[in-house]
Amino acid sequence: LLPCEIQYDGHAAVDKYFTPTI
């Protein structure tokens, strides 16, 4: 869940820019 509203539905290169961390 993001703390911002992205006005778009569709593909995002999440794994290129984010590294999930617990």
Smallest distance, another protein to C-beta of residue 6, A: 4
Smallest distance, another protein to C-beta of residue 20, A: 10
Residue 16 host element (H or E): helix 14-17
d(CA 12, CA 15): 9
For position 22 contacting another protein by CB under 8 A, the verdict is no
Smallest distance, another protein to C-beta of residue 8, A: 4
Interacting residues of 2 by C-beta distance below 8 A, sequence separation 6+? none
For position 13 contacting another protein by CB under 8 A, the verdict is yes
* Interface residue list for another protein (CB under 8 A): 1-18
